[in-house]
Amino acid sequence: MTAIRATNLSKRYGKTMAVTDLSFDVDPGRVTGFLGPNGAGKSTTMRMVLGLDHPSGGSVLVDGKPYQELRHPLRKVGALLDAKAVHGGRSARNHLLAIAQSNGIPAARVEEVLELVGLGNVAGRRVGGFSLGMSQRLGIAAALLGDPEILLFDEPVNGLDPDGILWIRTLMRGLAAEGRTVFVSSHLMSEMSQTADHLIVIGKGRLIADTSVPEFIGRSSQGYVLVRSPRLAEVAELVKVGELHTDHLRVTGVSPLEIGTMTARAGLPLEELTFVKPSLEAAYMELTKDSLEYTS
């Protein structure tokens, strides 16, 4: 069964349409990247999944039910939305204990998750004094408390150092490998390309793509063949479809083998013949360029 199902989901704040007619499924056993430029509606969508914001239209189900109908929801769903959204006066341990108790999770589990995220030795400290990295770890500890099958992370690597980023990436991959559902948002394609198996891309609140990572690259741009030759002009004339630059030719839609065969038959020498794969980043930029909320 699909873990999260959004159907024609919409959200309006006053005059702003934050999310428009969005439908998608998030499935278990893989990391699903939720990608979109700033202001695309990622956080809004996640808040609707968790029953925090009421949809203006459509619906979203978690494990087949509206979130509000889950008994002990934290045993099914764990989420990290905003790591700094905690009462700064409480200790890490008491913060987690209050969350655990509300869902009938034993207190021993609090110590377990504190160790798991590496906060065991600061458990008694007030969370107001935590660095962003520590807060992020505390937020993840809270998400893991109920040992949930479904996990949502909203921009979990924002503000983290490379060590922290690697840690979260490894954690998410591990959770998905255990068969859990991992739904993680980011506005950076480069980040998602290293973590996600599947991508849901939105722009201006609308669905742009819902595909696997390789498919996403293939769909949006095809890559090109780079050709260099001492007799470049003749090669260009022969291939016809190329785009001639001063020192190279850029060909789309013709394979390197075809170009090589043609030039060999014509007796033209080649200096370089390379297939340039499109980057995920380039594919993403191309897809979302029409839906950027704020363009510099």
Partner 1 sequence: MTDVLRSEWTKIRSVRSTLWTLATTVVLMLGVSALLSASVRSTADGPVPGEQAVIVSLQGASLAALAMAALGVLVISSEYRTGAIRTSLMAVPRRMSLLTGKIVVFTAVSLVVCLLASAGAIGVGLAIFQPASVEAGEVVRSALGSSLYLTACGLFGLGLGTLIRHTPGAIVSAIALILVLPPLTTQLPGEWGRTVSEHFTTNAGALIVSGQSTGSLGPWSGFAVYLVWVAAAMLAGAVLMRRRDA
Interface residues with partner 1 (CB under 8 A) are 47, 50-54, 67-68, 70, 73-74, 77, 79, 81-82, 84-91, 94-95, 97-99, 101-104, 142
Q: Are strands 249-251 and 224-228 parallel, antiparallel or unpaired?
A: antiparallel
Q: Which stretch binds ligand ATP (CB under 6 A): 13-21, 55-63, 68-76, 281-289?
A: 13-21
Closest CB 21 distance from partner 1, rounded Å: 19
Nearer to partner 1, 105 or 273 (CB): 105
Cβ-based neighbours of 289, under 8 Å, separated by 6 or more: none
Written as one string, the DSSP assignment of 167-203 is HHHHHHHHHHHTT-EEEEEES-HHHHHHH-SEEEEEE
CB 74 within 8 A of CB 151: no
| Side-chain half-sphere CA neighbours of 170 within 13 A | 7
Q: What is the CA radius of gyration of the chain?
A: 24
Out of 28, 33, 36, 203, name the contact with ligand ATP by CB under 6 A.
36
Nearer to Mg ion, 2 or 43 (CB): 43
CB 33 within 8 A of CB 175: no
- Give the count of residues interacting with Mg ion (CB under 5 A): 1
Q: Which stretch binds Mg ion (CB under 5 A): 37-45, 74-82, 125-133, 140-148?
A: 37-45
Nearer to ligand ATP, 58 or 278 (CB): 58
Closest CB 232 distance from partner 1, rounded Å: 60
Q: By CB under 5 A, tell whether 43 contacts Mg ion.
A: yes
d(CA 41, CA 53): 12
Taking CB positions, which residue lies at the least distance from Mg ion?
43
The residue type found at 27 is D
Q: Using DSSP, how many helices (H) and how many strands (E) does the chain show?
A: 10, 13
Residue 18 partner contact from Mg ion, ligand ATP, partner 1, none using kind-dependent CB cut-offs of 5 to 8 Å: ligand ATP
Q: By CB under 6 A, tell whether 55 contacts ligand ATP.
A: no
Residue 104 partner contact from Mg ion, partner 1, ligand ATP, none using kind-dependent CB cut-offs of 5 to 8 Å: partner 1
Closest CB 214 distance from partner 1, rounded Å: 34
CB 19 within 8 A of CB 42: no
Q: By CB under 6 A, tell whether 190 contacts ligand ATP.
A: no
Q: Which stretch binds ligand ATP (CB under 6 A): 32-40, 56-64, 107-115, 139-147?
A: 32-40
Q: Where are the alpha helices (DSSP H) in the chain?
A: 42-49, 92-102, 108-116, 132-144, 162-177, 189-195, 213-220, 232-239, 256-266, 280-288
* Residues of this chain that bind ligand ATP (CB under 6 A): 13, 16, 18, 36, 38-44, 187
* Residues of this chain that bind Mg ion (CB under 5 A): 43
